[in-house]
Amino acid sequence: MTKAFALASIIWSLIALDVLAADWPQWRGPNRDGRWREKGIVKEFTGPQLAIRWRVEIANGYSGPTVAAGRVYVTDRLTDPNQIERVHCFDAMTGKYIWSHSYKCTYKKVGFPNGPRASVTVDESRAYSLGTVGHLFCFDAQNGNVLWSKDLKAEYKIKVPIWGVAAAPLVENNMVIVQVGGKENACLIAFDKVTGKENWRALSDGASYSPPIVIEQAGKRVLVCWTAERVVGLDPNSGKLYWQHPLKSIQNVTTPVIHNNFLFVSSFFEGSLLLKLHQDKPDISLVWYRKGEDVKNTDAIHCCISTPILDDDYIYGVDSYGQLRCLDLSTGNRVWESLDAVPTARWANIHLIRHETDVWMFNERGELIISRLSPKGFHEISRTKLIKPTKGQLAKRGGVCWTHPAFANKHIYIRNDEELLCASLSASK
C-alpha cells in the first residue's frame, strides 16, 4: 500500500465518520428531539433566496425527508392512472436517483388525501416506511429490495384515523415500533426489525398522529406515546404499561417533548399538559393542564402540527393560528406572543429546530429563519426563501409547505408537492 493511498484511506474514513455523525435518519433528527448538532453552520443568510444545490421532481405528500449514509429518503403519492404510494432514495449530495418502490394504495375516507405522512426511518442498513393506510415496509436501504412487509390494515384490522396513519416508525434495540390503532390490543405493535416477526402488541386505544419516542427514566428505557386517548409510558421491550395520563388526541401531529424530567404535550383542541417524570421509578404526576374556550380563545398554547421546544424554565411553540408564544414552564402562563414568524391563519405552522444557541424555523410559506428565543421575546437574526408553497397540502392561502425539513451534512433537505431540494448551510465557502 502506498503512502498516498494510505493517507487517502484515512481521510476518506474521517469524512465518512463525519457524514455518519451528521445524519438525520428519522423524524426530528437522530434522537427525535429537534436538535441539530453540526458545527460550521452559517450564522446568517446572504440574500432573500437561498441558493439551491440540487432539486429533483417528486409528487404529492406530507412526509419530511430523512438522510442517512449519504442518501436521502422521501415518500409521495400518484393518483393517475392508479392510486399508488412510492418510497424514493436519492444521493444526498447530488440528487441522483438511486431507487424507488411503488405499491397500490387506495385512499378511502382519508381527510387531506395528499399523500403519505410518516417520514422514512433508517437504521443500520435498513429503511422503514409506513404508508397512509398502514403499509409497512422494511427495505434494504442501499438497493431498495423489500426485506419484509406488512399490510397492517388487513392483518390488524386497524381503524385508519381520518388524517391517515401518520406516526413515523421508531427503532429501539432489535425492534421497529409503530402506532397504528389495531384491534385486539394492537394500538402499538413492535416487530423484529430484521425479520418482521411480531414481538409484542399493547393498548386498545385508537391511533393518534403523534410519533412515539423513547426516553431514560429512573434508570430504564421508557417508550412514550400519545395515543388517541392518553399519554403513556411503556417498557419498550415488552409493551408493559408503566404509567398513563388521560388526554385525547383529536387533532395534532406534535411529538411529546422531554426536558429536565418534565414531559410536555400540546393539542389543537385539547390544550396543553405538563407532567413530572419521577426518577425513583417509572411514574408521573400532573404539574398543570390548561385548555382554552375554543381554538381561537386558547389558554397557554394549542399546537397542531409544530412540536414545541423547552429551554431552561420556558416553553416555546406555535398556537392554533400561528401565534409564536413563550410560556412559563412551571405554570403555563404566557410570557409573550409574536405574530412575526408566520402570517396568521388556522393551522399556520412553523417547525422549530435548535442549533447551538439559535432556533432555526421553517414556516409554511417556505421561509427559513434563524432566530433567538428568550423570555424577552422573539429575535429574528436572518430570513431567506427556500421553497414555494404548493396547494396539494392545503389549497387555501395560496398553498403551504407543512413538511418538516431534514438537516444533515451541513445542508437542508425539504420537499413540497413538486420537488425535493437540497441547499448548503455550511459557513465554509
pLDDT tens digits along 278-292:
999 999 999 999 999
pLDDT tens-digit series, residues 200-248: 999 999 999 999 999 999 999 999 999 999 999 999 999 999 999 999 9
Residue 350 in contact with residue 341, Cβ under 8 Å?
A: yes
Give the per-residue pLDDT at 249.
Answer: 82
Give the per-residue pLDDT at 133.
Answer: 97
Whether the upstream peptide bond of residue 81 has omega within 30° of 0, thus cis, is yes
pLDDT tens-digit series, residues 316-363: 999 999 999 999 999 999 999 999 999 999 999 999 999 999 999 999
Give the per-residue pLDDT at 253.
Answer: 87
Over residues 355-374, the mean pLDDT reads: 98
The answer, yes or no, to whether residue 395 has pLDDT greater than 50, is: yes
Confidence tier at 160 by pLDDT (50, 70, 90): very high
Give the per-residue pLDDT at 20.
Answer: 43
Buried b (16+ CB within 10 A) or exposed e, 58-89: bbbbbbbbbbbebbbbbbbbeeeeeebbbbbb
Confidence tier at 412 by pLDDT (50, 70, 90): very high
Over residues 247-264, the mean pLDDT reads: 91
Confidence tier at 423 by pLDDT (50, 70, 90): very high
Three cell numbers written together for 190: 413492535
The answer, yes or no, to whether residue 57 has pLDDT greater than 60, is: yes
Give the per-residue pLDDT at 22.
Answer: 87
If you ran DSSP here, which 8-state letter would residue 52 be given?
A: P
Give the per-residue pLDDT at 193.
Answer: 98
pLDDT tens-digit series, residues 79-106: 999 999 999 999 999 999 999 999 999 9
Residue 88 CA to residue 239 CA, distance in Å, equals: 32
Confidence tier at 7 by pLDDT (50, 70, 90): very low
CA proximity to 99, closest of 143, 129, 66: 143
Confidence tier at 16 by pLDDT (50, 70, 90): very low
Counting Cβ atoms within 10 Å, is residue 47 exposed (0-12), middle (13-18) or buried (19+)? exposed
The answer, yes or no, to whether residue 64 has pLDDT greater than 60, is: yes
The answer, yes or no, to whether residue 162 has pLDDT greater than 70, is: yes
Residue 252 CA to residue 255 CA, distance in Å, equals: 9
- Strand pairing category for 406-408 and 411-415: antiparallel
The answer, yes or no, to whether residue 1 has pLDDT greater than 70, is: no
Give the per-residue pLDDT at 252.
Answer: 79
Query: Is 23-424 a domain of CATH 3.40.190.10?
Result: no
Placement of cell 402570517 in the chain: 343
Residue 316 CA to residue 314 CA, distance in Å, equals: 7
Confidence tier at 146 by pLDDT (50, 70, 90): very high
Over residues 195-202, the mean pLDDT reads: 98
Average pLDDT, the chain: 94
Check the CA dihedral 156-161-165-170 and report its sign: negative
pTM of the predicted model, to two decimals?
A: 0.94
Residue 34 CA to residue 420 CA, distance in Å, equals: 20
The answer, yes or no, to whether residue 164 has pLDDT greater than 80, is: yes
Confidence tier at 369 by pLDDT (50, 70, 90): very high
- Alpha-carbon distance values, 45 to 48, 142, 181, 224, 381 (Å): 8, 34, 44, 37, 9
Q: Residue 27 region, left (φ>0) first, then alpha (ψ -120 to 50), else beta?
A: beta
CA-based radius of gyration for the chain: 21
**What are the structural domain ranges in the chain?**
23-424
Over residues 373-390, the mean pLDDT reads: 98
The answer, yes or no, to whether residue 18 has pLDDT greater than 70, is: no
Give the per-residue pLDDT at 14.
Answer: 42
Over residues 120-132, the mean pLDDT reads: 98
Residue 112 CA to residue 119 CA, distance in Å, equals: 17
